[in-house]
Chains A and B, each alone.
Chain A
Amino acid sequence: MSDSEQAPDSAIYSKDYWDLVFEQLGRRKLFRAGMGVLALLYGLVIFAPFLAGDRPFSFEGVDRAAYGSSLNSLRAVTNGMLKLVSATDDEYLAGLQESGTLGADGVPQTRAGALLLETDAMDLRLDVVAFYLPDTAEAEQAALLAFRNKLSEGKAAFAGGDAPKAAELLGEAKNITRDLRKTLRPLSPAKPELGGVALQSRRTLPLWEALWPREIFFMVLWILLASWPVWNRMLNRVVLGGDREEVRRWRRRKAFGVLGLSVLASLGWYATFGDGDDMYKNAPHKAGLISGAMVALPEGQLLGEGDGVFEPTWPPLTYGLAETHTEEMFRPPTWWWWAEIDEAGKYVRGPKANAEGQGGFKAAVTPVDVRAGEPERNSSMRHIAGVDELGRDFLTRLVWGGRISLTVGILSAILLTVIGVVFGCLAGYFGGRIDVAIMRLIEVLQAIPAFFLILMTMAFIPADVISPIFAIVIVIALIRWTGVARLVRGEFLRLREQEFVIAAQALGFSNRRTIFRHVLPNAMGPVLVSAAFAVAAGILTESAVSFLGFGIRPPEASWGSLVNESKNASNWWIQLFPGALIFITVTCYNLVGDAVRDALDPKMKR
């Protein structure tokens, strides 16, 4: 973007079209402000996992609950494997028939498949047990190893076709589990006299492990784009030596480089950590730390020995997207004058302090539950944007909801632009019957009120077939492409008569080459502008559809669906914050679109 920032230093260099466009854009304050705000907003939603969530960056401690349940279920899983090994194929199928799961999705239809499933479940449990078992507990490690060996021998025998032998081995393994449970039982710090293994604290990275590779892609992309002016300038000066022709040639390489680096980063992430976790699934850490199911300890320390304290690092907003605090429902932003709550859970002043329920009952109150990592009860940082009706932190939902709103805006704009450009090209370039057919189709579509068409279509799309996000993107694109198509058609009608188009045909270029390489690039200006406006329109449409309850459904959130969470004027923060964010985003897109239109218009050059 800053290709044109340096003063021209060679006499041969003359500015090309894009140099002039970028220069024009750079000169516009409103464009820069709009791009800055948009970059900030996209940064916030892209880095949402680091800003808001209930997973600590790093956790050192023991998950006693996971250890206990894994250990206790070893017998049941071994039993399941034993049954599968000793049954015949016909018996297995008969079992399926009996339970009505013959041919059902997700149920393995062969004995080997079912055994594989059980084996995976077993490995998962064994891994958890082995993870927290101290390095020093040699006897216990040996017992676990003996059990593992029996299992793998059994599996090998089964794979070798010797089912009776496998059944015998698994039977032996099943007999071991009883002793294993006794040997490996965890030491309870509250009752050390009962004995058991003192579990060792281990380090995990819950937040990092929950990231999806695609999130890494967008994070790297955002960082590279946001820092573009800095490294671009370095690259142009140092590597390219300020040679304008060279700089111009590098433009495409830089764009591919940025994309390539982002893809590489996400692939690397996939190879290292695998897939992530869904954001609306609560992580066990906060609840576990309070109930005692999890204990935070410096890494390597044994549970019950020593008294080291480990404080996990949480994201700034320590709330999960779907984490509820029902005792705080509709609590206003905590810096608001009547947000203060006393120890019993009662509002100290303001409308809710004296509010009486129906029939004169005082509303029942519950003390505020301050969980691990959360700010204090009356800290003004506790809920900066208030709380919704299920006691979910509203700022957290705003940050995550922005992802869906902004994604829908961009995706729908891209999709509708592509559809519109294709139809517009066909109509404008070929004319005649194709033109008539496409234009009549457009007129029919435009004659139906678009918003109601979208609402109706959304109502008929079941949420379990296509996720509502993509359904809404597709529906918006399929209905709103008409404007772009007409625009492109008009440009084509204008350009078709230009001599360079006739010259391209006279050079023997195919229709496809003429359309896409010679006409379309000259028509891209208005298309870009309309795409910028389409993003804004897409965000607004998604908000309206979600507000009416046809779009995004809880526990996921979008800015539009968040506005819908309360229509009561006293819960002003529910309407104000998402509404303001929608307003700001749409305004910025319109500013950017306006500036691009002006910059692309040669007559506006000043």
Chain B
Amino acid sequence: MSDSQSPEGAAKPLLELRDLATWFHTDEGTAKAVDGVSYKIYPGETLGLVGESGSGKSVSALSVMRLVPSPPGFVERGDILFRGESLLPIADEDFRRIRGNEVAMIFQEPMTALNPVYTVGNQISEAVMLHRGLSKKAAREHAIEMLRRVGIPSPETRVDTYPHEMSGGMRQRVMIAIAMSCDPALLIADEPTTALDVTIQAQILDLIRELQEEAGMSVLLITHDLAVVAEAAHHVAVMYAGKVVEYASVEELFEKPRHPYTIGLFQSLPDLAKQGERLTAIPGMVPSATNFPSGCRFRTRCSIASDLCAGTEPPLVSLEPGGAHTVACHHLEEASKL
């Protein structure tokens, strides 16, 4: 993963995580939720971040937004670069100008992510009044415009309704409208479709893609659903136990997954061709973040693990020199036969 070999050529990454580690110091021990994660997002690109629950994909995004509850969570090492500049040393007051304005976030649960005591118009206006200094009237106009852009019918009346008067899909559209209201350069979508039914999921993903094309913004799409990734992402980073284990363009990953964990993920997808058979599942559970195994963290669940895996941690290396596809595994040969 070097700049010169990036798919966008010489373009500079919008967001770059360098060996980021976010640990939670609890009474039960130190939970290394994110432990040495690096990924880059280029302007206009969508990066899918895939992994099981507890793999650290949300925490890495929350670290970018500085929303990790602290204490107990701290960024232990590594760096977060936005437009080439480190976000970590910025004071909290100045950081607020980035949040919501440059980097916006939408959440999984549209039922609880909107404040029940304000109208949706109110909630959209508040952000633009704060960041753009719009007047109340102009902000309301802007809110109506945003509702129209996210495809809410009759936005002039909807702007005065409360969240509980809307359906889940509508609310997610409102969430997107709020997040998009300040034209952010980067949108972090934390499982935006998990709580929605499938038809609405597709609509929301289409909407995000449309808005992305319109505004030229980058999207960090966090999900555990490979179908969503296939639908919406350009590049995919697969996370396991606080680390990125494989990074590739979406076509390549779906064509030729190389890491045993990624392969396991694909094998556990339901397949119409294998109707009637039992689903293949990855054996075992994600290890606890306070007590990761030594060496390769996947080895306790990996069928091709050896002593080498227990001894040294496999580095993330490119498959071909300078290639974009990187994998962290000692036994790529054996893995390709899985």
Contacts and interface: CB of A to CB of B under 8 A. Distances in A.
B47 interface: no
Given A14-B161, A16-B162, A499-B107, A504 B130 contact: no
B102 to A, nearest CB: 9
Contact of A14 (B115, B126, B127, B165): B165
B117 A507 contact: no
A508 B178 CA distance: 12
A505 B113 CA distance: 12
Contact of A245 (B105, B113, B160): B160
Given A17-B116, A498-B112, A503 B96 contact: no
B202 to A, nearest CB: 23
A386 B127 CA distance: 65
B117 A522 contact: yes
A161 interface: no
B96 A508 contact: yes
Given A17-B162, A499-B107, A506 B117 contact: no
A507 B113 contact: no
Contact of A505 (B67, B131, B160): B67
Contacts of A500: 112-116
A460 to B, nearest CB: 41
A510 B112 CA distance: 20
Contacts of B98: 508
Contacts of A521: 115, 117
B106 to A, nearest CB: 8
A508 B100 contact: yes
B321 interface: no
Interface in B64-115: 65, 67, 71, 93, 96-101, 104-105, 107-109, 112-115
A515 B65 CA distance: 19
B162 A506 contact: no
A14 B115 CA distance: 17
A509 B123 CA distance: 12
Q: Among the interface residues A248, A507, A509, which one has the most CB atoms of the partner chain B within 10 A?
A: A507
Contacts of B126: 507, 509, 517
A518 B105 contact: no
Contact of B127 (A12, A245, A508, A517): A508
A491 to B, nearest CB: 13
Contacts of A245: 160
A517 B126 CA distance: 10
Nearest to A521: B117
Interface residues of A, number: 24
Given A499-B109, A503-B107, A508 B99 contact: yes
A432 interface: yes
Interface in A4-35: 12, 14, 16-17
A160 B41 CA distance: 86
A502 interface: yes
Interface string A504-540: 1111111001000110011000000000000000000
A507 B101 CA distance: 7
B2 interface: no
A502 B107 contact: yes
A14 B165 CA distance: 8
B165 A503 contact: no
A15 B290 CA distance: 48
A510 B162 contact: no
B157 interface: yes
A506 B99 contact: yes
Interface in B148-202: 157, 160-162, 164-165, 175, 178
A506 B178 CA distance: 11
Contacts of A248: 160
Given A499-B109, A502-B67, A508 B157 contact: no
B331 to A, nearest CB: 40
Given A499-B107, A505-B67, A506-B99, A522 B127 contact: no
Contact of B104 (A14, A17, A502, A507): A507
B249 to A, nearest CB: 29
Given A14-B161, A499-B107, A502-B107, A509 B115 contact: no
A12 B153 CA distance: 13
A505 B161 CA distance: 23
Contacts of B116: 17, 500, 522
B280 to A, nearest CB: 34
Contacts of B115: 500, 504, 518, 521-522
A361 to B, nearest CB: 74
A508 B160 contact: no
Nearest to A502: B67
Nearest to B127: A507
B187 to A, nearest CB: 11
A505 B71 CA distance: 16
Given A245-B160, A506-B65, A509-B130, A499 B99 contact: no
B67 A506 contact: yes
A16 to B, nearest CB: 5
Contacts of B99: 505-508
A310 to B, nearest CB: 60
Contacts of B96: 508-510
Interface string A88-129: 000000000000000000000000000000000000000000
Contact of A508 (B117, B131, B164, B165): B131
Contacts of B113: 499-500, 503
Contacts of A509: 96, 100, 126-127, 130
Interface in B122-151: 126-127, 130-131
A499 B116 CA distance: 11
A16 B107 CA distance: 24
Contacts of A504: 115
Contacts of B164: 17
B104 A506 contact: yes
A499 B99 CA distance: 16
Contact of A499 (B101, B112, B117, B165): B112
A509 B109 CA distance: 20
A31 B48 CA distance: 55
A285 B165 CA distance: 65
Interface in B206-248: none
A248 B159 CA distance: 14
Contacts of A12: 157
A517 B125 CA distance: 14
A517 B127 CA distance: 13
Contacts of A16: 162
A510 B161 CA distance: 25
A4 to B, nearest CB: 15
A503 B130 contact: no
Q: Among the interface residues A506, A518, A521, which one has the most CB atoms of the partner chain B within 10 A?
A: A506
Nearest to B113: A499
Q: Among the interface residues A432, A499, A503, which one has the most CB atoms of the partner chain B within 10 A?
A: A503
A508 B130 contact: yes
Contacts of B104: 506-507
A507 B71 CA distance: 21
Contacts of A513: 130
Nearest to A506: B105
A505 B96 CA distance: 8
Given A503-B175, A508-B98, A521-B115, 13 more contacts: A12-B157, A14-B165, A17-B116, A17-B117, A500-B114, A500-B115, A503-B113, A505-B67, A506-B65, A507-B130, A521-B117, A522-B115, A522-B116
| Interface pairs A-B: 4 shortest CB-CB | A507-B100, A508-B100, A508-B99, A499-B113
17 contacts: A14-B165, A17-B117, A499-B109, A499-B112, A500-B113, A502-B67, A503-B107, A505-B99, A507-B127, A508-B96, A508-B127, A508-B130, A509-B126, A509-B130, A510-B93, A518-B115, A522-B116
